[in-house]
Chain A
Amino acid sequence: MPQTIETKTVKHIAFLVRLGISEEEAQKFSRQFSAIIDYFNMLNEVDTTNVPPASDIANAENVLRDDIVQPSMSREEFLKNAPQSERGYIKVPTVLGD
Chain B
Amino acid sequence: MRPTYEPVIGLEIHAELITNSKMFCGCSANYASAPEPNTNICPVCTGLPGALPVANKKAIELAVLVGLALNCSVNKHNTFARKNYYYPDLPKGYQISQYELPICENGWLEVEFPSPQTHQTPPLPSGEGRGVRETPLSLRERARVRVRRVHIEEDTAKLFHEKNYALVDFNRAGVPLLEIVSEPDIHSVEAALDYATKVRAILRYLGVNSGDMEKGVLRFEANVSVRPVDSDELRTRTEIKNLNSFRALTRAIAYEIERQIQIYESGGAVVQETLGWDDVRGMTTSQRSKEEAHDYRYFPEPDLPPLQLSDEWIESIRTRLPELPEAKTARFISDFGLTLSEARFLTSERTLADYFERVAAKAKSPARTVHSWIAGEFMRYLNDSGKSIEDVTLLPESFAKLIDMVTDKVISGNSAKVVLNEMLASGGDPEQIVREKNLAQVSDENQIQAIVEKILNDNPAEVEKYLAGKETLLQWFMGQVARATKGKADPNVAKELLVKSLEERRK
A residues within 8 Å of B by Cβ?
A: 15-16, 18, 53, 55-59, 61-70, 72-73, 75, 78-79, 86-98
Contact of A92 among B58, B166, B297 (CB under 8 A): B166
Q: Could you pull out 30 A-B pairs where Cβ atoms are within 8 angstroms?
A: A53-B300, A55-B79, A56-B306, A58-B305, A58-B306, A63-B54, A65-B54, A66-B57, A68-B20, A68-B26, A69-B27, A70-B21, A70-B26, A72-B27, A72-B41, A73-B41, A75-B36, A75-B39, A78-B46, A79-B38, A88-B36, A89-B167, A90-B167, A90-B170, A91-B168, A92-B165, A95-B87, A95-B88, A95-B166, A98-B287
Whole-angstrom distance between the Cβ of A76 and the nearest chain B Cβ: 10
For the complex, give the distance between the alpha carbons of A62 and B57 in Å: 10
| List of 7 A-B pairs having minimum Cβ-Cβ separation, nearest first | A70-B26, A67-B58, A89-B167, A55-B300, A64-B57, A58-B306, A90-B168
Contact A89 B308 (CB under 8 A): no
B311 interface residue (CB < 8 Å to A): no
**DSSP majority for the B interface?**
loop
Q: From residue 24 to 70 of chain B, which have CB atoms closer than 8 A to chain A?
A: 25-28, 36-43, 46, 54-60
Q: Which residues of B contact A65 (CB under 8 A)?
A: 21, 26, 54-57
Whole-angstrom distance between the Cβ of B61 and the nearest chain A Cβ: 9
Q: Mark B289-304, 1 if CB is under 8 A from A, else 0.
A: 1110001010110100
Contact B308 A67 (CB under 8 A): no
Q: Which residues of A contact B276 (CB under 8 A)?
A: 98
CB within 8 Å for A69 and B21 given contacts A58-B77, A89-B160? yes
For the complex, give the distance between the alpha carbons of A93 and B24 in Å: 28
Q: Mark B153-165, 1 if CB is under 8 A from A, else 0.
A: 0000001110011
For the complex, give the distance between the alpha carbons of A29 and B44 in Å: 33
Greatest chain B CB density within 10 A among A53, A61, A66, A90 is at A90
B369 interface residue (CB < 8 Å to A): no
For the complex, give the distance between the alpha carbons of A69 and B306 in Å: 24
CB within 8 Å for A56 and B300 given contacts A72-B28, A75-B36, A98-B274? yes
What is the size category of the interface that chain B forms with chain A? 35 or more
Whole-angstrom distance between the Cβ of A90 and the nearest chain B Cβ: 4
Whole-angstrom distance between the Cβ of A62 and the nearest chain B Cβ: 6
Whole-angstrom distance between the Cβ of A98 and the nearest chain B Cβ: 4
For the complex, give the distance between the alpha carbons of A52 and B167 in Å: 44
Contact of A87 among B27, B77, B167, B305 (CB under 8 A): B167
Interface contacts beyond A90-B167, A98-B274: sample of 12 additional A-B pairs, CB < 8 Å, sorted by A: A55-B300, A55-B302, A59-B305, A62-B307, A67-B57, A67-B59, A70-B42, A72-B42, A75-B38, A88-B169, A89-B37, A93-B164
Q: Which residues of B contact A57 (CB under 8 A)?
A: 306
B19 interface residue (CB < 8 Å to A): yes
Please name the residue on chain A nearest to B160 by beta carbon.
Answer: A89
Please name the residue on chain B nearest to A66 by beta carbon.
Answer: B57
Contact B40 A72 (CB under 8 A): yes
B residues within 8 Å of A by Cβ?
A: 19-21, 25-28, 36-43, 46, 54-60, 77, 79, 86-88, 159-161, 164-170, 241, 274, 276, 287-291, 295, 297, 299-300, 302, 305-308
Greatest chain A CB density within 10 A among B170, B287, B299 is at B170
Q: Which residues of A contact B291 (CB under 8 A)?
A: 15-16, 97
Whole-angstrom distance between the Cβ of A92 and the nearest chain B Cβ: 5
For the complex, give the distance between the alpha carbons of A73 and B45 in Å: 11
Please name the residue on chain A nearest to B27 by beta carbon.
Answer: A72
Q: Which residues of B contact A87 (CB under 8 A)?
A: 37, 167
Contact A89 B169 (CB under 8 A): yes
For the complex, give the distance between the alpha carbons of A55 and B274 in Å: 32
Contact of B165 among A53, A58, A88, A94 (CB under 8 A): A94
Greatest chain A CB density within 10 A among B43, B60, B165 is at B165
Whole-angstrom distance between the Cβ of A96 and the nearest chain B Cβ: 7
Contact A67 B38 (CB under 8 A): no
Contact B168 A89 (CB under 8 A): yes
Contact of B241 among A55, A72, A89, A98 (CB under 8 A): A98
For the complex, give the distance between the alpha carbons of A86 and B21 in Å: 26
For the complex, give the distance between the alpha carbons of A16 and B295 in Å: 8
For the complex, give the distance between the alpha carbons of A96 and B160 in Å: 13
For the complex, give the distance between the alpha carbons of A72 and B45 in Å: 10
Contact of B56 among A15, A67, A93 (CB under 8 A): A67
